[in-house]
Structure formats: C-alpha cells, structure tokens
C-alpha cells in the first residue's frame, strides 16, 4: 500500500510514524505500507522527513504526491486553506484520502470535498483521534447498550493555553485566510465529533465567540509549531477567534453545552466529555486519558458514587499495546489506532468512520454556531447544498 503525505510539520511526522508502527502493532492486517513520497514547500523539512521516516522520494510540490502512480493513499496535514485543492486532486486521481480536521475552511468546502469522495467511490478518513481512546470507545459501548439509560445532558469542553502567552507566534492557525475559523475549527470540531459519537446528532445551537489577544509576533515560515514563542520582531493581526461557547439541543431531546479556548491559562490539553443519562453518568478528561469516571444506578449502596476505571485489556484496542491494566497509552498511540481502522476500511472496500461524511456533519454544526454569532439567536443545524 503506497502512502504519500503532504505537509511535513508536526502532524505529518505523526502520521508517518503511525504507518511505521502499523505492521508491528497490527500484524494481522497483512499489509505492508510503503512511504512512497512526502511533500512540503519547505525543502529542508521534506528532506528531514525522508531521513527520519524513510520516504522513497521528496518534493516541494503536492501535485507530485497526488499524481504519483505508486501512491494509493494520500494524507493531507497542511494548513486548512490548502486542503480542498489537494483533496480534490487526489480524489480525481482515484486515491484514498485521509485529512486532518477541519477538512475545509468552510462548511461549503467540506461539503464539496465529501461529495467528491462519494463520487470517486474511495475510502476517506478524518483525524478525530480522541474518539479512539480505549475508555472512550468503552463509553460509547456502554451508551449503545443502554447502561446510562436515555441521555439527558452532554457537556464538552476543550481548553488549552498555548495561546495564552501574547508572545505565542502568529502561526497559520491564527489567520482566517489560512485556517478559516480559529478554535471553532481547531478545537470545537473535536468536541462536536465526540458528541455526535456518544449522544447523537445536534439540531439547534446558540453560540458566542471572542478574541482575547488581537496581535502576535510574526512566525518564521517553516520553523516551529503553534506552541512556539518569540518575544521579538514585528507583530501581525489575529484574524480569527480564541474562544467559542455554545448551548445545544440534541435531536433525541438531550441538552448540551460546549466551551473551547486556546488561551485558557493553566489548561494544557483539557478535552473533557461528561454525559448524564437516566441511569448513569460518565466523565472523561484527555489529560487523564486512561481513566473513565463512571456512576451507574444499579441500586447498591456501595456504588452510590462514581467509580474510577483504569484502561485495561478489556477495553477496545488496549491489548494491542499493553497486556495489563494501568499501563498508560498516549496521543500517538491513538493515531496508530486511527490509521489501523482507516487501513482496515480500505482493505474491506468500505467507508471509514470517522470519514468525510462525519466531518460534514460536524461542519454543519459549526456553520450554525457561526450564524448564531451574527444573529445572537438559536440557529437550526441545516444541510448545505
């Protein structure tokens, strides 16, 4: 299976490493991924990726990846503004595609890409990797089995502080022309995807947004990440939002709330889900990824409160990495699980979840939130033609 990666920043490295681990962690797949070619506009970064990961070729031009005859799968890990053009070219060439979220800079872009993937009849995947934490998959199983009863409340938040420092550099994530929205696309997309997976579709939202820091030091192209800090040099304007909050009504009658921020001091990577049902409650925080707090109403006085479960071999995908409970998995392990499920779907010639269709469903909720910023009213989650 020939693999091509476009964009060799942090996430391009993560995707490449995931394929290098695939044959070890998932030997039963009986597939040999070959890292055929990587592309990056920064020549040194592409060459470094070749040295580290063993790509056969490098290029400055993404077209060399999407048109390469030996490439079966194209991974897109570039700034958001480049996703559409690269994905449409890859789909036209009949390649399977995997894209980091948010897929498009707008709902209409995401809709166009999803429609093109359906027409091309290929497998697509999207980087909603937090859903692959073993205890999150276990939570999904509990909800589907009715252990929590009818879902009544859902709360999701994703608070980080990489942008709380005014000297955090003006990476592409802070610029509407390159990223589209700010935390709505970057962080809220994960919150909404997890909500869709656990609690079902969202029918209405009312939302608010804010930018706390209006200008930042210019970044050096091709160097560092959005975690980089530079106190010197000229500054440029931040053109998208630092903060988004929303109330939500789910199609099944559940009520929800969401809050995301990239400038919340003291929150390193607090991605939290909390679900209440008529028979139970669960709580998960990515900062303690291997724990799930669970409270089920089974009538026993000894269970009148939450139980802290530790991830173990009884939870989905855990035993692929560790034989015993209490061993801690990390972020890149989730990307390996994500990649394995994507490759399984390709081999079975079926759709992957989450794929571009799931990204489209998330984008429709985000579009309703954006409309609410202007109307200051509840907005319906609508299809995009």
pLDDT single digits (tens) 138-159: 999 999 999 999 999 999 999 9
Over pLDDT 70: what percentage of the chain? Answer: 97
Same structural domain, 119 and 156:
no
CATH number of the domain within which 45 lies: 3.40.50.720
Q: For the segment 171-198, what is each residue's pLDDT rounded down to a tens digit?
A: 999 999 999 999 999 999 999 999 999 9
Quick one: average pLDDT of 307-324?
96
Same structural domain, 67 and 206:
no
Report yes or no on 363 lying in a domain.
no
Here the tokens at position 13 are 């490295």
Q: Answer yes or no: is pLDDT of 303 > 70.
A: no
Q: State the pLDDT at residue 225.
A: 74
Same structural domain, 13 and 30:
yes
- pTM metric for this prediction: 0.95
110, 129, 148 — which closes off a domain?
A: 129
Same structural domain, 105 and 234:
no
60, 94, 129 — which closes off a domain?
A: 129
Same structural domain, 142 and 187:
yes
Quick one: average pLDDT of 231-241?
91
Same structural domain, 310 and 249:
yes
**Sign (positive/negative) of CA torsion 143, 147, 151, 154?**
negative
Q: Answer yes or no: is pLDDT of 302 > 70.
A: no
Here the tokens at position 309 are 């479960």
**Cβ-proximal residues to 57 (8 Å cutoff; 6+ apart), any chain:** 36, 37, 38, 50, 64, 68
Same structural domain, 220 and 256:
yes
Same structural domain, 169 and 274:
yes
What is the overall mean pLDDT for the chain?
95
> CA–CA separation, 385 vs 371, rounded Å?
16
Which range of residues forms the domain containing residue 323?
134-288+290-329
**Sign (positive/negative) of CA torsion 164, 169, 173, 176?**
positive
Quick one: average pLDDT of 73-82?
96
Quick one: average pLDDT of 220-243?
84
Cβ atoms 311, 291 nearer than 8 A: yes
Here the tokens at position 89 are 């070219």
Cβ atoms 170, 233 nearer than 8 A: no
Angle, CA 293 vertex, CA 287 and CA 296 arms, to 5°: 160
Q: State the pLDDT at residue 231.
A: 79
Q: Which residues pair with 125 in a beta bridge?
A: 98
Same structural domain, 167 and 77:
no
Q: For the segment 196-231, what is each residue's pLDDT rounded down to a tens digit?
A: 999 999 999 999 999 999 999 998 776 777 778 887
What is the domain count for the chain?
A: 2
Same structural domain, 205 and 235:
yes
CATH number of the domain within which 268 lies: 3.30.360.10
Q: For the segment 291-300, what is each residue's pLDDT rounded down to a tens digit?
A: 999 999 875 5
113, 129, 145 — which closes off a domain?
A: 129
Same structural domain, 94 and 69:
yes
Here the tokens at position 108 are 């209409």
Q: Are strands 34-39 and 2-6 parallel, antiparallel or unpaired?
A: parallel
Q: Which of 356, 187, 358 is nearest to 286 (CA)?
A: 187
């Amino acid at each position: 299976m020939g693999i091509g990666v476009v964009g060799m920043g942090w996430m391009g490295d993560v995707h490449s490493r995931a394929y290098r681990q695939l044959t070890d962690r998932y030997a039963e797949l009986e597939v040999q991924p070959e890292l055929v070619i990587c592309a990056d506009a920064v020549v040194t970064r592409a060459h470094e990726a070749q040295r580290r990961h063993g790509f056969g070729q490098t290029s400055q031009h993404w077209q060399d990846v999407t048109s390469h005859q030996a490439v079966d799968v194209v991974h897109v890990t570039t700034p958001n503004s480049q996703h559409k053009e690269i994905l449409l070219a890859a789909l036209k060439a009949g390649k399977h595609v995997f894209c980091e979220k948010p897929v498009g800079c707008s709902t209409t872009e995401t809709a166009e890409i999803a429609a093109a993937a359906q027409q091309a009849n290929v497998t697509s995947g999207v980087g909603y990797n937090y859903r692959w934490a073993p205890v999150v998959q276990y939570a999904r199983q509990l909800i589907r089995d009715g252990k929590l009863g009818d879902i009544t409340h859902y709360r999701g938040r994703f608070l980080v502080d990489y942008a709380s420092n005014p000297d955090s550099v003006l990476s592409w994530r802070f610029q509407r022309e390159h990223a589209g929205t700010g935390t709505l696309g970057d962080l809220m997309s994960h919150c909404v995807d997890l909500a869709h997976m656990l609690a079902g579709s969202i029918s209405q939202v009312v939302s608010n947004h804010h930018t706390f820091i209006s200008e930042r030091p210019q970044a050096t192209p091709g160097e560092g990440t959005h975690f980089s800090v530079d106190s010197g040099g000229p500054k440029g304007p931040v053109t998208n939002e630092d903060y988004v909050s929303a109330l939500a009504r789910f199609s099944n009658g559940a009520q929800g709330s969401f809050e995301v921020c990239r400038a919340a001091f003291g929150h390193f990577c607090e991605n939290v889900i909390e679900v209440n049902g008529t028979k139970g409650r669960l709580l998960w925080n990515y900062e303690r990824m291997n724990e799930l707090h669970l409270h089920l109403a089974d009538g026993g006085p000894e269970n009148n409160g939450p139980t802290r479960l530790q991830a173990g071999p009884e939870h989905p995908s855990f035993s692929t990495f560790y034989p015993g409970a209490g061993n801690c998995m990390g972020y890149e392990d989730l990307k390996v699980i994500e990649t394995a499920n994507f490759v399984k779907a390709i081999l079975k010639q079926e759709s992957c979840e989450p794929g571009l269709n799931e990204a489209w469903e998330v984008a429709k909720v985000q579009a309703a939130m954006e409309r609410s910023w202007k109307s200051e009213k509840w907005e319906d989650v609508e299809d995009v033609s």
